[in-house]
Amino acid sequence: MLRTPVRTPVKSLADGPDSDAFLDAACQATGVLYDQNKDLGKRYYDHVVAVVGTLFRERLANLMNDTPYYSAVLRNAQAEGQAMGKVQYLLQVLETRNVKLSDSLRQMVLDTTDPEQLDTWFARALTAHTAEDVFAPRH
């Protein structure tokens, strides 16, 4: 069962939705909700942004940048997102060039998160005729 972090922001609304008390409480509530239930946390964030707008978004961004936990989480999420994008582009280039991948090679690409490795494979894929042209070790 979820704890109810929503009460504090609601109580602080008496000071106004652009007050420091409300913005701080809404940021904390968003974090707690997201940790407990990502979907609910995202919906709560969207709702508060719709009500308060950019002040909340800016306050939350500042809080996340100033908090080592959240800034590390953001950096990791951003790196994972970039790696996923590189993987998708690599697979798309290979498909477009009609380079066939075995299931094990495809899984290896999907499991790779090293951006330098993905960049190397991507550059090779642009001119590759076979999977070996892309994935064979080079000396």
pLDDT in tens, 85-122: 899 999 999 999 999 999 999 999 999 989 999 999 99
Separation between Cα atoms, residue 41 and residue 108, nearest integer Å? 33
pLDDT digits (tens, 9 = 90+) for 25-59: 777 777 777 778 777 777 777 777 776 677 766 77
Helix/strand number for the chain, H first, E second:
8, 0
Last residue of a domain, one of 39, 66, 93: 66
- For 60-80, write each residue's pLDDT tens digit: 677 666 655 555 666 677 778
What pTM does this model have?
0.50
Which residues form the domain of 22? 7-66
Which has the higher per-residue pLDDT, 97 or 7?
A: 97
Q: Does residue 73 lie in a domain region?
A: no
Q: Which of 66, 93, 115 is the last residue of a domain?
A: 66
Q: Could you tell me the CA-to-CA distances from 69 to 55, 72, 76 in Å, in that order?
A: 22, 5, 11
Whether residue 32 is contained in a domain is answered as yes
Determine whether 4 is exposed, middle or buried from the number of CB atoms within 10 Å of its CB (0-12, 13-18, 19+). Answer: exposed
